[in-house]
Amino acid sequence: MKKIINDPKNVVEEMVSGLVDAYPDYVKQVPETLVVARNDDYDQVALVSGGGSGHEPSHAGFVGDGMLSAAVCGQVFTSPTPDQIYEAIKATNKGKGTLMIVKNYSGDVMNFDMAKDLAAMDDIEVDSVLVDDDIAVEDSTYTQGRRGVAGTVLVHKILGGMAREGKSVSELASYGKSLVEDIKTVGIALSGATVPEVGKPGFTLAEDEMEFGVGIHGEPGYRREKIKPSAEIAKEIIAKLKGEFNWQAGDKYGLFVNGMGATPLMELFIYYNDAKKILADEGVEITFSKVGNYMTSLEMAGASITMIKLDDERLRLLNEPVHTIAW
């Protein structure tokens, strides 16, 4: 294992220390926690997200005006504990309640739920939105149902905008549920990622091999085969997405190509270019685009394509300016 780290046990603590030190205009660390919170004042429903670390800039990079109030940083690929999530809820509570945005992994679901129960004892209203946008497989290594992956970032953005505009916890929870149904993702991987404390890759692929449908912790996908040209990969992934969305010509969508960590931006733009062409041939109108590394998997090589069904309101919220490190 070759990494720019010190003790593998301390990677998350040192990362959070570096992050809040580098960006004090955006974030602060809640003392004696691994919670990264907004470093400005606000008066709205708090939005709390988080999960295992290793997906940077998710989620701490999306903390700030217009997106999250706090991100809880678990150990690498490990759910944060209920007490840490509870600290995030307490630290960001402005008396208007809290919406938690949770990726669908069993550990996350359980621990965010327990934190909600702890907060209930303080009379803090808490509800949650569960993100399960990964359509590659049903159930998975750490999941009942579908996994939550890159689409979560779009949920942060849209619900973050609505919370800033004064929506209540119940309004956000209710809208969030319908929003998640309109966001779907499929990933591919060209190589695995190494958790520092483990010291070797979670999975390996041959020199000429790729895997379709891999999760953001290296969970198995649905097929391995020889690497194919970008345009052919995009064709298969867009067909998968079409199978879920059943779009018609003229429908409006957002197209989000997300890098898994080690894939150069050059390749992400080529992959975007291929996906966009296929969608144009289908008559699908892409009114919002985003390309880059937003929900990574340490140094995994690969990329995911997320599509989101758009209306004017969602498009407006996606385009609203925010004050975060990474959006």
What are the residue numbers of the active site?
Answer: 55, 217
Cα separation of 156 and 93, whole Å?
17
From the CB of 250, what's the least distance to a copy of itself, in Å? 19
Kindly list the residues in this chain that would bind a copy of itself in the complex (CB under 8 A).
2-7, 11-12, 14-19, 21-23, 53-54, 56-57, 61, 76, 188, 190-191, 207-210, 227, 229-231, 233, 255, 257, 261-274, 276, 289-293, 296, 298-299, 301, 303, 326
Asked if 180 contacts 308 with a C-beta cutoff of 8 angstroms, the reply is no
Helix (H, G, I), strand (E, B) or coil at 49: strand
From the CB of 20, what's the least distance to a copy of itself, in Å? 9
Cα separation of 90 and 97, whole Å?
10
Nearest to 233 by CA among 213, 253, 251: 213
And the tokens for 293?
């590394």
Cα separation of 277 and 90, whole Å?
47
Cα separation of 143 and 121, whole Å?
28
**Chain centroid to CA 236:** 23
49 versus 191: smaller Cβ distance to a copy of itself: 191
From the CB of 56, what's the least distance to a copy of itself, in Å? 4
26 versus 86: smaller Cβ distance to a copy of itself: 26
Cα separation of 127 and 241, whole Å?
29
From the CB of 293, what's the least distance to a copy of itself, in Å? 7
| Bridging pattern class, strands 98-103 and 183-189 | unpaired
Nearest to 48 by CA among 99, 113, 119, 115: 99
**Chain centroid to CA 21:** 23
249 versus 266: smaller Cβ distance to a copy of itself: 266
174 versus 273: smaller Cβ distance to a copy of itself: 273
Helix (H, G, I), strand (E, B) or coil at 237: helix
222 versus 269: smaller Cβ distance to a copy of itself: 269
123 versus 208: smaller Cβ distance to a copy of itself: 208
From the CB of 262, what's the least distance to a copy of itself, in Å? 4
From the CB of 198, what's the least distance to a copy of itself, in Å? 14
Cα separation of 27 and 68, whole Å?
11
Phi-psi region of 139 (alpha: psi -120 to 50; beta: other; left: phi over 0): left
Q: How big is the CA angle at 230 (ends 224 and 235), to the nearest 5 degrees?
A: 80
